């Protein structure tokens, strides 16, 4: 199964429409992890198979959804800036081994308690020093493979963005625990 995963598009530019059009016939599933800032009846968001509510969404999207062994959420309801404990609990309750989420604007792939946590980053703009947004293509067969792509050029991203992203999230967690 091949999956397009996007998050945090925030109505900026035409990237969501372009990426949706580019992959609609090339993937088996299209997922938006929240903060589309679009209404439920928007023609672009209706092309997605799964859409969840982000902290900037007014529409009544669900807080999370599951599909097979996949959990999809935005992240703010589960305090992802502080870690994955609450998402681990949700995934165990829902019998999920993969969790797609957004909220941090940082593309990552982490494994905690045997669960793959994948954040495609922000289709608008990530918080890293590299200055561009990302989305992910996830292939689930006998193995899991994840590729992150540049939001304008659609070129595969250098894996160093993931290393930078993990360091940035650790910095956020340290700052937040000091408050």
Q: Which ranges in 25-145 belong to alpha helices (H)?
A: 85-93
| 52 close to 62: Cβ distance less than 8 angstroms | yes
Give the domain extent around 119: 2-178
Q: How far apart are CA 38 and CA 17, in angstroms?
A: 12
Tokens at 160, concatenated: 């160093």
| 134 close to 119: Cβ distance less than 8 angstroms | no
Q: How far apart are CA 93 and CA 85, in angstroms?
A: 13
Q: How many domains is the chain built from? A: 1
Q: What is the mean pLDDT of the chain?
A: 92
Cα torsion 77, 99, 23, 159 to 10°: value is: 100
Which region among 11-20, 55-64, 66-75 has the lowest average model confidence (pLDDT)? 11-20
| pLDDT one-digit tens code per residue, 156-177 | 999 888 888 777 777 777 777 7
Output the domain CATH number for residue 75. 3.60.21.10
| pLDDT one-digit tens code per residue, 95-121 | 999 999 999 999 999 999 999 999 999
Residue 13 has pLDDT above 80, yes or no: no
For CA atoms 72, 73, 78, 80, give the dihedral sign. Answer: positive
As a whole number, mean pLDDT of residues 135-150 equals: 96
As a whole number, mean pLDDT of residues 3-27 equals: 93
- Match 């959990």 to its residue by tokens: 71
Residue 179 has pLDDT above 60, yes or no: no
Residue 150 has pLDDT above 60, yes or no: yes
Does an H or E element contain 5, and which? Answer: strand 2-6
Report which of 111, 118, 117, 132 is spatially closest to residue 12, judged by C-alpha positions: 132
Q: What is the pTM of this model?
A: 0.93
Using a 10 angstrom Cβ sphere, with 0-12 exposed, 13-18 middle and 19 or more buried, the burial of residue 159 is: exposed
Q: How far apart are CA 123 and CA 88, in angstroms?
A: 25
């Amino acid at each position: 199964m091949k999956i397009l995963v996007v998050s945090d598009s925030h109505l900026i530019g035409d990237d969501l429409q372009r990426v949706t059009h580019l992959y609609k016939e090339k993937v088996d599933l299209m997922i938006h992890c929240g903060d589309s800032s679009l209404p439920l009846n928007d023609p672009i968001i209706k092309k997605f198979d799964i859409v969840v509510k982000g902290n900037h969404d007014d529409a009544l999207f669900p807080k999370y959804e599951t599909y097979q062994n996949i959990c999809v959420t935005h992240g703010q309801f589960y305090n992802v800036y502080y870690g994955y404990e609450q998402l681990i609990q949700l995934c165990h309750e829902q019998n999920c081994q993969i969790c797609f989420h957004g909220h941090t604007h940082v593309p990552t792939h982490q494994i905690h308690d045997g669960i793959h946590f994948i954040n495609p980053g922000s289709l608008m703009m990530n918080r890293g020093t590299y200055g561009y947004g990302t989305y992910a293509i996830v292939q689930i067969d006998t193995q899991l493979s994840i590729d992150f792509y540049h939001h304008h050029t659609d070129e595969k991203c250098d894996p160093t963005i993931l290393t930078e992203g993990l360091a940035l999230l650790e910095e956020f967690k340290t700052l937040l625990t000091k408050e």
